[in-house]
Amino acid sequence: MANKLGLSRAKAEKIINVAKIHDIGKIYVNDDVLKSSDKLSLEEYEEIKRHSEYGYKLLKDIDILKEELKVILHHHEKWDGSGYPDGLQGEEIPVGARLLNITDSFDVMTTGRKYKPAMNKSETIQELKDCSGTQFDPDMAEEMIKLIEDGFFDNSFQEEEVLSEYEFFIEY
């Protein structure tokens, strides 16, 4: 994605390096909240939302990371301004944070969670289309969809269920 967006190799590497630790602030969130499979209360959700700020504060004094720490702080901002922690919108959101938002979301879509199964290729493409311009930078969503359609991420998708000829006739 970084290549498709025209980011320099150095910029891409910095973003990738902070992306590897983007959720480090979750070490300050109560384990019961993190591991809960129940719907979170408003208070619990507010605590989870603070992980990006916790991570930023934890790492802000590490000079080598300073340039890209806003990626960690703003990786839950949404293109339409409805994200957190600051409600940034559009190009106000650092490019690395927009890139992390869509790639982290893609990971969630394709691996699933306790409360939501993994999506197949067509469902993922539809989700990216549906969230383009709201959650995701529309240009990034378009590039991600192109990469998916070109087969770049094929190993990320669970096998779509294909009925054998026998199962097809039983099913129908």
Give the per-residue pLDDT at 86: 97
27 CB neighbour count, 10 Å cutoff:
12
Give the per-residue pLDDT at 137: 98
CA 144 to chain centre: 12
Query: Could you state, in order of their start, the residue ranges of all structural domains in the chain?
Result: 9-160
Give the per-residue pLDDT at 151: 93
pLDDT digit string (tens) for the chain, length 172 residues: 898 899 999 999 999 999 999 999 999 999 999 988 788 899 999 999 999 999 999 999 999 888 899 999 999 999 999 999 999 999 999 999 999 999 999 999 999 887 789 999 999 999 999 999 999 999 999 999 999 999 998 888 865 544 444 443 444 4
Q: Name the nearest CA neighbour of 77 among 103, 101, 111.
A: 101
pTM: 0.87
Looking up tokens 């990371």 gives: 65
Give the per-residue pLDDT at 168: 38
What is the maximum span of the chain, computed from C-alpha positions, in angstroms?
64
Give the per-residue pLDDT at 169: 41
Phi, psi of 156 (to 5 degrees): -85, -15
Looking up tokens 């209360």 gives: 41
63 CB neighbour count, 10 Å cutoff:
7
- Cα dihedral angle (103, 74, 14, 4), rounded to 10 degrees? 40
Give the per-residue pLDDT at 37: 77
**How many Å apart are CA 172 and CA 161, to the nearest integer?**
15
Looking up tokens 């469902």 gives: 123
Give the per-residue pLDDT at 158: 64
Fold of 9-160: Hypothetical protein af1432 (1.10.3210)
